[in-house]
Amino acid sequence: MSEVLVALAGSPNVGKSTLFNRITGGDVHVANWPGVTLQRAEGRTEHHGVVLRIVDLPGTYSLSAQDIGERIAREFIVEEKPDVIVIVVDATSLEKSLYFAVMALELYQKAVIALNMMDAAEKRGIHIDIEGLESKLGVPVVPVSALKGIGLGVLLDRILDVAQGRMRILPLKVDYNGLEPFIHEVERLLRERGILKKYPCRWAAVRLLEGDEVLLDELSKEDPELAGKVRSIRERARIELGEDPERIAISSRYSLIDEIVSSTVTRVRLAAPTLTEKLDQLMLHPVTGPISSVLLILFTFFLIFAVNTGFPLNILFDHMGYTELAALIEEYSLSGILGSFFDWLSSAISDWLTPMGYADWLVGLISDGIIGSIGTLASFIPLLLMAYVFLGAMQDSGLFPRAAVSLDNLFRRFGLSGRAFFPAALGMGCSVAAVVSTRAMDDDRERMVTSMASPLIPCQARLLVLLALASAAFTNPLEQSALTVSVYLLSFVLYLLTSKLLNKFLFKVEYAPDLVMELPPYHRPSLRVIWWYARSNTEHFVKKAGLLIFVLGVVTWFLLNFGPTGYLSQGDISKSYAAILGNLLTPVTSLIGLPDWKYALAFEVGFVAKEGLLITFSSITGAADPVEALRSMGITPLKAVSMALAMNYYVPCLATVAALFSELRIGKYVLLTVAIEIALALLLAGTAYWVGILMGFS
C-alpha cells in the first residue's frame, strides 16, 4: 500500500491537537524530537487505500527558528519534505492565524489549509469566501470543525489530491515593497553560487535579509565570503530604507493578510459580550483573579485526591462518625482498588507456586519482589493520568493562561513569571508530572529553576505518609490537620524561596522573565483531546521510568529479604542487608531525632517511591496498617513532626530524579537539586526536633 507523509502545522490554540487526534483516531505514537525533550507525536490513518503517516509539528507562531519548536518544525519541513503539510488556521481569527500560514506557504507549497472552528465562526456571524481564500493562497482550503468532526473526509481527499499531484498549486507571493530589490540581489547571489539549495531561493533571500541566525550560520559555514556580502546588503537595506528589514518583512506579511481578510471575510453582526469577556472580568480582576485561580486549583485537586485516595472524604466521614462509609470510600478509591488487586495477585501467585516445589526465595521474589514493583509502578499510573487530565483540561479550557496572568505579580518577586504556578500546582499530584510540565515555559532559566524547585511540593505519595504520621502521633483531628496543612504551606513558601535563591546564586539573574502569552478564548474542554493527551503522556512516562522503578523495586526486595546468612525465610528483617544499610544512615537520622535503623531504612526505601516509607514500616513491624506500625515503633508527636519534614524534603523520589535528568540534561543541576533537598530536610527537621526538645517535648 502506498504511504503519504503528512505534517500537521499551525500556531498554538488553533485546535491542531484536536484535529490530529480526530484524524488519527488516537492511534498515536509519542516520542521525543531528536536531541530535545519536546514531544513528537506521530499517528496514522487510511484513506482510499492509502496510508497517511501524520506527524504533529510543534505549535508555533512563526517559522523563524527562534526557539526549539520553530526550529524543529522548519527542519522537519525542509529535511523530510513531507508529501503534504496541513496548515491549521482558526476561522474565528484569520487576522492572526494566517500569519503562520503565510510563513509556511512561502517555505513549502505542497500544502492544504484546514480552516478549523468553522462552526464557531458561523455562529459568530463570520462568513468566509472559501474559493476566494483558495485563489489568494494558491492551495486548497477546507473548512472543518475538529471538535465536531466535520469536514474531515474532504480534508483527507484534498491531502491525497495534493500528495498525488492532482491539484494545481500556485506559489504565494508576498510583496515586500522596498525590500524587493535587495531580495533580488541576494537571490541572484544564492543562485550564482548554488548555495542553500534545499530552501526555496526567494524564501532564503528574505530570511537572510530578516537576519535569520540559523540560516546565516549555515551560510557562513558553506561560504563565509557570501555570508559577509549578504550581511552588508542587509545593512545597506536598513540604511536606505531607514527601517529594520525584519520589521518591513513582518509588516508586509501582515499587509497581505489584511488584504486577504478584507476581501474574503464578511462579519454579519457584532457578537454580544461573550462568555470569554464575562469570565475575564472575574479571572483578570486584581483581587478575584488570583483568588479564583487558587480556588480552581484546590477544587480540582480535591477531586483528584478523592478519586485516588479517598482523602479528604474518608477523614471527613470518619470524624462525623460514619466509619464504615469512610472505609468504603478508601477501599474503592483508585489506589485502594489497585492495592487490593496486587495484594490478591501476589498471594495467588505465591499459593500457586509454593506447591510446585520452587524454592521459598524464588516464590518470594516473584510474588513480592516482582509483583510488588509492578504494583508500585501501577499505583503511579492513576496519579499521573489524573494529573495529566487536570493539566490538559486547564490548558484546553483556556483557564491555565489566566491563572498564570493573575499570579504573575506575586511570582515576579521571586524571579519567576506567572507560568511558574503551574508546576507547583501539578506537583501536588505528582512531582514527575510537575517536572515534565516545565517544558511548556519559553524562558530557559525559568524552566530549569522551576523544575528544580517543584519536587519540594508534597505529591500524593507524600500526602499518604503525612496523613499516616499525623494520625499515628496525634489524636486530636485539629492537630492532625494542622500538621498536614503547615507542611503544604511551608512547601509552597520553600518553592518560591528556592527559586529565588537558584535565580540569584546559580543563574545570577534576578529579574523575572517577562510574560508574553496569548489568552485563547475559553471553551469547554474536549474530552477526547484531554484523554488522548493524558494517555499518551502517561504511556510515555511508563516506558521511560518504568524499567528503572521495576529494577529498583526488585533490588529493594533483595536487600530486605537477604542478609549475610542468605535468604531470610522467616522475614527476620533485622539481619538483612537492608538493616545493615539502615544502620549506615543512622548517624545522620540521629541528627533529626530518629536514631532507629528502621527509620533510616524507610528513608532509603522511600527514595524509590515515597509510599515505600509506609510499606517499610509495615513490613518491619508486621502490622498491615501503617498507622498501627508507626505506633508500635513508639512514634511521638515530636518525632512525627521531624519525620514529616524530613520525609517531604529529603530527596526527590527516583522517578522524579529520572525526570529531572531527562529535562535538565545537566547532571550537576540534578545533584544540586538533591543536595538542596537533603540540606533542607536536615535543617528543618533538625531545628524542629531540637527546638522541641528544648521546649520539653520528647
Partner 1 sequence: MDGNLLPLIALRPGQRGRIITMNVGRGKARRLMELGLLPGEVVEVISNSLGPVVLRVRGMTLALGRNVASRVWVEVIP
Residue ranges binding partner 1 (CB under 8 A): 61-62, 64, 66, 92-93, 95-96, 99, 211, 246-247, 250-251, 254, 276, 280, 284-286, 289, 401, 404-409, 417-418, 511-521
Q: What are phi and psi of 555, to 5 degrees?
A: -60, -45
How many angstroms separate the CA atoms of 275 and 272, rounded? Answer: 9
Nearest-approach distance from CB 233 to partner 1, in angstroms: 18
Nearest-approach distance from CB 574 to partner 1, in angstroms: 57
* CB closer to partner 1 out of 10 and 43: 10
With contact defined as beta carbons under 8 Å apart, do 206 and 233 qualify?
A: no
> Which residue matches cell numbers 519541513?
77
With contact defined as beta carbons under 8 Å apart, do 87 and 111 qualify?
A: yes
With contact defined as beta carbons under 8 Å apart, do 560 and 571 qualify?
A: no
Sequence-separated (6 or more) residues with CB below 8 Å from residue 511:
415
Nearest-approach distance from CB 66 to partner 1, in angstroms: 7
Q: Which three cell numbers stand for residue 491?
A: 512547601
Nearest-approach distance from CB 378 to partner 1, in angstroms: 40
* CB closer to partner 1 out of 404 and 594: 404
Nearest-approach distance from CB 374 to partner 1, in angstroms: 45
User: Which amino acid is present at 385?
Assistant: L
**Does residue 266 sit in helix, strand or coil?**
strand
Nearest-approach distance from CB 485 to partner 1, in angstroms: 27
Nearest-approach distance from CB 455 to partner 1, in angstroms: 27
Nearest-approach distance from CB 643 to partner 1, in angstroms: 39
User: Which amino acid is present at 442?
Assistant: D
Nearest-approach distance from CB 8 to partner 1, in angstroms: 20
Q: Residue 343 class from Cβ within 10 Å (0-12 exposed, 13-18 middle, 19+ buried)?
A: middle
User: Which amino acid is present at 661?
Assistant: F
* CB closer to partner 1 out of 447 and 598: 447
Nearest-approach distance from CB 393 to partner 1, in angstroms: 20
* CB closer to partner 1 out of 285 and 504: 285
User: Which amino acid is present at 141?
Assistant: V
Q: Residue 393: name the closest of 304, 519, 525 by CA.
A: 525
DSSP 292-345: HHHHHHHHHHHHHHHHHH-TTHHHHHHHTT-HHHHHHHHHTSHHHHHHHHHHHH
Torsion angle in degrees (nearest 10) through CA of 415, 418, 420, 422: 170
* CB closer to partner 1 out of 442 and 625: 442
* CB closer to partner 1 out of 323 and 409: 409
* CB closer to partner 1 out of 13 and 576: 13
User: What is the distance between the terminal CA atoms of the chain, rounded to a whole angstrom?
Assistant: 76
* CB closer to partner 1 out of 363 and 519: 519
Nearest-approach distance from CB 73 to partner 1, in angstroms: 14
* CB closer to partner 1 out of 366 and 515: 515
DSSP 97-166: HHHHHHHHHHH--SEEEEEE-HHHHHHTTEEE-HHHHHHHHSS-EEE-BTTTTBSHHHHHHHHHHHHTT-
With contact defined as beta carbons under 8 Å apart, do 71 and 57 qualify?
A: no
Nearest-approach distance from CB 259 to partner 1, in angstroms: 14
Nearest-approach distance from CB 187 to partner 1, in angstroms: 22
* CB closer to partner 1 out of 40 and 96: 96
Nearest-approach distance from CB 392 to partner 1, in angstroms: 21
Q: What are phi and psi of 42, to 5 degrees?
A: -130, 135
Distance of CA 144 to the CA centre of its chain: 28
* CB closer to partner 1 out of 130 and 517: 517
- Give the H or E element holding residue 269: none
Nearest-approach distance from CB 670 to partner 1, in angstroms: 29
With contact defined as beta carbons under 8 Å apart, do 20 and 144 qualify?
A: no
- Give the H or E element holding residue 228: helix 224-241
- DSSP class of residue 443? -
* CB closer to partner 1 out of 520 and 637: 520
* CB closer to partner 1 out of 251 and 340: 251
Q: Residue 431: name the closest of 472, 365, 491 by CA.
A: 491
With contact defined as beta carbons under 8 Å apart, do 278 and 406 qualify?
A: no
How many angstroms separate the CA atoms of 516 and 69, rounded? Answer: 16
* CB closer to partner 1 out of 286 and 321: 286
Give the Cβ contact number of residue 181 at 10 Å: 11
**Rg value, the chain, Cα:** 29
Letter string b/e over residues 133-162, b meaning 16 or more CB atoms within 10 A of that residue's CB: bbebbebbbbbbbbbeeebbeebbbbbbeb
* CB closer to partner 1 out of 92 and 648: 92
How many angstroms separate the CA atoms of 24 and 86, rounded? Answer: 14
